[in-house]
Structure 1
Amino acid sequence: MDVRFLKSLLAVIDKGSIADAARHENLTSSAVSQRIQALERELGVTLFSRIGNTAKPTESCMRLVPRARKIVQEIQALKTDLDPVGLTGELRIGAISTALTGLIPQLMKKLMTQAPDVKLSIVPGTSASLYERLIAEELDAIVVVDPPFDTPKMMKKITLYVEPLVFIKSKSVSLPIAEAIQSKPYIQYDPHSWGGRLATEYLHDQQITVDPLCDLDGLEAIAILVSEGVGVSLIPYWQGLEKIANDIVISNVDVKKYQREITLLHPVQTINSRLISFLVGLINEE
């Protein structure tokens, strides 16, 4: 059995379609389909049911996934073992959207010069959804908001940095924070998200009541709406906020209590421990 065929199988599962898997692997859709068909012939089962442009894994396919992932990881580990500094191979990193616009671009630039043989596969998502994929072993590590619960002992958690809560408004709004929140449409950072609880806690402590215009779990979208004069908001400040919406006024709430921690989570037992440690070092560089 060719391990490349297993990689294509996992790519189709992770990407949701043969076309997206082909783009990820720099192959044609026909080549990926042929690999899947070869696996189906060898294993004697149907691996995917094709519905339109999507490929849905069958029950038989999903039973194979955990072992297939381990086989691919072990083959990758052979290359890593031959590298004395462990800076070879592919790493699947899940990242929340603010990390994609703030942290990841600088990290990629450093990797290009310091570890060009490392290939990062970046998967966007919410903190909760990425955590589920990490537990399911679909990702090697995730950059997310610190979970609002105790993580299991099999997971290692590293605090990367903190993001303070800030108040944002358009330049046309001159009111102080409390008055602006109560008199202008309030765009609420989804209180059910891991990071959204921060703004909710601040409003409660300051005894500010709001009737939100809407709830959003997309900080970039909130910033753009505020810059367009739609309303005001309380959100965590992240590197790259001004790049998303430069026509806004940003005010600190001046209370250290209201900060969200951005953490990196990865399994304690992983073949990628040296590579993950190297990435954390790059992130913590001045």
Structure 2
Amino acid sequence: MIVELRTLLAVARHGTFSAAGDRLGLTQAAVSGHMRRLEEALGFALFDRTGRSATLNAAGLRTLARAEVLVAGFDALGEPTTDEEWGKPLQVGAIASVQATLVTRALVPFRQRFPNCRVHLAPGVSLHMMDRVEAGELDVAILIRPTFEPPQELEWIPLVREHYVLLAPQDVRGDDWQRLVLEQPFIRYNRSSFGGRQVERYLREHVPTLREWVEVDDIQAMVAMVEGGLGVAVVPLTETIVPLPTRVRAIPLGGEPIHREIGVLCRRVAVSDAVKGFVACLRDKSNCELSSSRALQE
């Protein structure tokens, strides 16, 4: 019945038999068959059926809660019972700006607690890593919080908040960030990332035109370009770039400031002790907030 229970969870998660089938690679008829077999095995109906629609009834909702526990327990059968039995690497995805800082700090106590657990650390764009966690390819991902809610089966745990500022070469005069963006060549934060999309929306609201000439996905590279006099850039003040180079200055953005929240994304159920331990280490080693004012003082 595990297959049927998984199908029940998919129906509840995605809303319809058709959507669940698309997610599971099944036809709508196959999903309906799974639900009929489950109802026959249980001896009661799980859905109120009206025409082509089917809604979980009270018995179905009770069964759903128990099914989540049963499926999680089944998935956990193959997990190690002790740290020494942990054979496969912990698959961790992380955006580039946290690998040398937050992730490295968290790995120190994690290694002490799980000395026999290997870790595979992979870089990636936040959107792609979220998909990989959902698909089970990553155990944990440290990424920028999306503007939309993650899938229900994934849990979001906030870690760090970083504010955006305008970076300008030290010899470029003026503190009016909008005028500088209009007058200077603009180095854009890549729009394929969640952070780049935040900047794009903010600029559309506050700046009519840009002298954009390059789009970059690496924050440290953007700082180096500003230091080299190639233009100005809107970036988050992440740990990897503060204190800023002497030839670069940060200018607060006007209007309502924007920030990016960095956090952990992992599955809600069937989480191993190693995953829980790594998340705990991340939370312990994260800063509550890296604000613009604090970073500018360093």
TM over 0.5: yes
Q: TM-score under structure 1 normalisation?
A: 0.64
String of CA shifts for 1:51-95, please: whole Å, max 9, x gaps: xxxxxxxxxxxxxxxxxxxxxx965x22xx1249x9997311000
Does the 8 Å contact 1:165/1:198 carry over to 2?
A: no
Aligned-pair distance for 1:199? Answer: 1.6
- Aligned residues: percent identity? 22
SS of the residue corresponding to residue 111 of structure 1 reads: helix
C-alpha distance in structure 1 between counterparts of 2:244 and 2:222, whole Å: 10
Instruction: Calculate the aligned-residue CA RMSD, in Å.
Output: 3.0
CA 1:88–1:162 in structure 2 vs 1: closer, same or farther (change >3 Å)?
farther
Between the aligned partners of 1:179 and 1:101, the Cα distance in structure 2 is 34
SS of the aligned residue for 2:180 comes to helix
Contact 1:89–1:117, Cα closer than 8 Å, also in 2: no
In 1, the alpha carbon distance for the partners of 2:244 and 2:123 equals 17
Unaligned runs of 5+ in 2: 1-75, 286-298
1:150-181 per-residue CA deviation (whole Å, 9 max, x = no partner) reads 22211111111111111112222222222221
Partner of 1:181: 181
User: Structure 2 matches for 1:158-169, cutoff 5 A?
Assistant: 158-169=157-168
Aligned residues: 210
Contact 1:87 1:115 in 2 (8 A): no
Partner Cα separation in structure 2 for residue 233 and residue 146 of structure 1: 21
The change in CA–CA distance for 1:122 and 1:201 in structure 2 (over 3 A counts) is same
- Structure 1: which amino acid aligns with 2:136? E
Give me the whole-angstrom Cα distance separating, in 1, the residues matched to 2:189 and 2:160.
20
Distance in 2, matches of 1:258 and 1:226, equals 20
1:130 and 2:129 correspond:
yes
Q: Kindly state the Cα deviation for residue 136 of structure 1 after the two structures are TM-superposed.
A: 2.6
TM-score scaled by length of structure 2:
0.62
User: What SS does structure 2 have at the residue aligned with 1:269?
Assistant: coil
User: What is residue 96 of structure 2 aligned with on the other side?
Assistant: 97
- Larger gyration radius, structure 1 or structure 2: 2
Greater mean alpha carbon deviation, residues 109-118 or residues 223-232: 109-118
2-structure distance, mates of 1:235, 1:168: 7
Aligned residue runs from structure 1 range 40-189, under 5 A: 77-78=79-80, 81-83=81-83, 90-176=89-175, 177-189=177-189
Residues 270, 252 of structure 1: alpha-carbon distance in 2 compared, 3 angstrom cutoff = farther
Output the CA distance in 1 between the equivalents of 2:246 and 2:114: 33
Contact kept in structure 1, 2:184 and 2:211, CA below 8 Å? no
CA distance in 1, matches of 2:208, 2:108: 43
Q: Provide the C-alpha distance between the structure 2 equivalents of 1:246 and 1:221, rounded to a whole number of angstroms.
A: 16
**2:270 aligned residue:** 270
